[in-house]
Structures are given as C-alpha cells and as structure tokens.
Amino acid sequence: MKPEIILPYQPGTQNSDLKAASTRLTVSKSYKDLSTVILTPTRGGRSLCPRFVSAIAGLMRPMNQQVFGPVFLSGMEVGHAFNSGIEMIMNNPNLSKFKYILTVEDDNIPPPDGLLKLYESIGDFDAVGGLYWTKGEGGQPMIYGAPNQSPMNFIPQQVVDNSVQQCNGLGMGFTLFKTDVFRKLEKPWFETKQSWDPNSGVKCYTQDLWAFERMAKAGMRVACDTRVKVGHLDVEQDHLW
C-alpha cells in the first residue's frame, strides 16, 4: 500500500473533467443506438480458419448494445450470400430495426477495436470500411475512386493514413453499412457480373463494386477509415497481406 491521506469524498477522474468525458462519449457514439447485425459469407466446409475465429471472437462490441451474429452464410456465391443475409434481416421483425449491418468476410482479420472505430467514423457516411489490400506482393488498397473525379471510377486511391478517406467504393471484408441503405436501393443489392454482349461489350463487376456504384448514383457517400487496419488472409500460404 502507498502512504496517503484518505479524504471523506473524491469525485473520481471522470467526474473531475466532465467536459473531457462528454467529448469521449460523443466521439464514440456509445450513448446512441448502435444495434448491429454481423454477416459473414463463408465457403462452407467443416471448419473456419483459426486465425479468423480468434479475430472475430476478440472483436470488441459496444457496451450494453444489441449486436447479433456473426450470421454465417455458407456455401453460396458471395453476392447471393449477402443478398440472402440482408433479405433475412429485412424480413425479421426484430433485426429489421437494427441500425447497422457489418459485413465480415472469413479471410479478413480485423483489429479488436475495429468495430468501435467504424462507429466513430461513419457519421454522415452511408458505409465505412476498414483498410485492407488485395492479396499478393502487388496488392492494391481497397479504397476505390476519388469522388471529385469525373467520370466516376474505381481506381485504387493512395492511402492517407489515420484518416477517414472518402471514396466511391470499398471491399466488404470489414465494412459497416447503415441498414437504411438497403431500404433505399432496389434488389438485388449485390450482383457479380461476368458477361459479354455484342452491343454493350464486356461487363465485369464484383458484388461489392456493383453495390457501391449504385449507392454513388443514389447520392450515398462512403469512406475508408484507415485507422482500422485489417489483415487479408491467404489461407493456403498462412500469410496476412
């Protein structure tokens, strides 16, 4: 024990600086409704990668808030998986009232405080994601397109570290959406395109950029929180990009 004089009453650290404590609560949004459904498409099979299981089990959740999931969407093409998961949410009388949907893919390793930081940064954005890269030595950041450029494009942006960086599109490995996004857009919300037509030419879309292009055309805004650094797991090589 340390030598000290015990006074009858002390207000405590937080009560001693209410302005600082209130600012912290405002930034974290912990006093607001942060109800969230977590959706995770998976390739199926008998097991998930232990690295992923460890990361999702260690994901910090907001205090005394409703967080449901992860809901695993197994053995479906990824666009169909996300469509099925969101349809399930919209048709459920309880889950349809949740404010957010977090998509987490089973080869992404989010930091423990990643979700809490996404709550902080979503603000006026309709979706915000963590920073991760395409796999391989020449990996590109999944921060697609600068909103001030015309015509609209999905060229990977240079990363601005420790920022909330507005863009046209994101991956869905660790991305927080406002549930209202899916009330405003017509189904299907996600679609993977690989087609050729002699009149219109080739169409190639991953399910994520298909959705984000439609969101942008509807006037919605998205961003990458580059503070949230997400590992992209190559299961075969047991390597995080």
Under 8 Å between Cβ of 35 and 97: yes
pLDDT of residue 203: 59
pLDDT of residue 236: 78
Among the listed residues 61, 13, 9, the one whose alpha carbon sits nearest the alpha carbon of residue 38: 61
pLDDT of residue 69: 95
Q: How far is CA 171 from CA 10, 27, 66, 133, in A?
A: 49, 25, 25, 9
Task: State which residues of the chain have pLDDT below 70.
Answer: 194-197, 199-204
pLDDT of residue 199: 67
pLDDT in tens, 214-233: 999 999 999 999 999 999 99
Compute the distance between CA of residue 117 and CA of residue 77 in angstroms, rounded to an integer.
Answer: 29
pLDDT of residue 43: 80
Q: Which amino acid is at 94?
A: N
pLDDT of residue 82: 97
Q: For every residue of 20-55, which 3-state class applies, written as one string? A: HHHHHHHHHCCCCCCCEEEEEEECCCCCCCHHHHHH
